[in-house]
Amino acid sequence: MTEVRHTEILGAHAPEVSAAKARRWGSFYFMEHMLRGMRAYLVTIVVTSVGNPLLYLFSMGVGLASIVDRNPSAHFGGVGYLAFAAPALLVSSAVMTCANEMMFPVMDGFKWRRIYYGPHVTPLVPGQLAAGHVMAVGVRLLVQCSVFFLIMLAFGAAASPVAWLLIPVGVLAGLAVGTPLMAYAASIQKENFQFSMIQRFIIMPLFLFSGTFYPLETMPTAMQWIGWISPLWHGNQLGRLVSVGLSEPGWLVAVHVLYLAALGVGGIVWARRNYTKRMSA
């Protein structure tokens, strides 16, 4: 009786009410926790979100593009090199950010600081923790892609009236790469340089061989298959489609979207399964 009276005076919910809210909104609660945790490296987030696009676009627009555009035979879909490369740079930055947020922080949650286990003693279930982590990273990508897009506008690299769709394209491509990495990170017990190997032998080659700086068809035919299996290439093509009106057949646009969506959804399902398995052991 005394406990109930104190609860009423403080305006707090009864335990059963709080538990019911956690079961219903637990993913959003953990998303908030993750976003608050990002404040610890907020300066890094701001500097990279603003500095990287400025450096990329300045080097492309004032540096490399001024040389490439002198070549009348250069083929970039009828647009200048800056307009060709900028959408891919936005998508690439989202992919790299998401990959980073889905490897070491996931291992941190399970092994180092074990930040998943505190919420797990509440009514939150492992699947909600995984979903909350994905949602928090999605918010970061949304902000980062929006800043990158605004800087693109300042450089005149996004003339299409629907170029703003680059923002969701960047988020989709980032999660298409990040969620399978998240699922993998949740499945390993010890980090023996696997993440460094992924960055060096998967993420970086995709960045270089996914048509980021040149059309995929200019690569040797024997290497073009890398682009077809690369989520980054599919994201790059979608980005150019909405930013500069890249000519793509309808069936190929559908392939781009469905491929990225399938990877993202499949990665989330796999991650939720691995979280549940890991935290139920």
pLDDT per position as a tens digit, 195-230: 999 999 999 998 989 998 888 888 888 888 988 999
Q: 211 to each of 88, 116, 277, how far by Cα in Å?
A: 8, 38, 38
- Three-state DSSP class for residue 61: helix
Q: Is residue 2 part of a domain?
A: no
Report the candidate in 246, 231, 269 with the shortest Cα–Cα distance to residue 95: 231
For residue range 29-84, list pLDDT tens digits in order: 999 999 999 988 888 888 888 888 888 888 876 677 767 777 665 567 678 888 89
Q: Is residue 6 part of a domain?
A: no
Estimate to the nearest angstrom the gap between the alpha carbon of 21 and the chain centroid. Answer: 28
Q: Average pLDDT, whole number, for the chain? A: 88
Burial class of 88 by CB neighbour count within 10 A (0 to 12, 13 to 18, 19+): buried
Half-sphere exposure of 148 (CA within 13 A, CB side): 34
Residue 1 has pLDDT above 50, yes or no: no
- Three-state DSSP class for residue 124: coil
The boundaries of the domain holding residue 88 are 26-279
Cα 151 from Cα 158, distance rounded (Å): 10
Cα 125 from Cα 23, distance rounded (Å): 8
Q: Is residue 90 part of a domain?
A: yes
Max avg pLDDT among 117-131, 164-178, 195-209:
164-178
Q: Is residue 1 part of a domain?
A: no
Q: Is residue 10 part of a domain?
A: no
Q: Is residue 17 part of a domain?
A: no
Cβ-contact 12, 114 below 8 angstroms: no
Report the candidate in 271, 275, 274, 281 with the shortest Cα–Cα distance to residue 98: 271
Cβ-contact 183, 191 below 8 angstroms: no
Residue 261 has pLDDT above 50, yes or no: yes
For residue range 139-162, list pLDDT tens digits in order: 999 999 999 999 999 988 888 899
Q: Is residue 13 part of a domain?
A: no
Residue 13 has pLDDT above 70, yes or no: no
pTM here is: 0.90
Residue 55: what pLDDT? 86
How many domains does one find in the chain?
Answer: 1
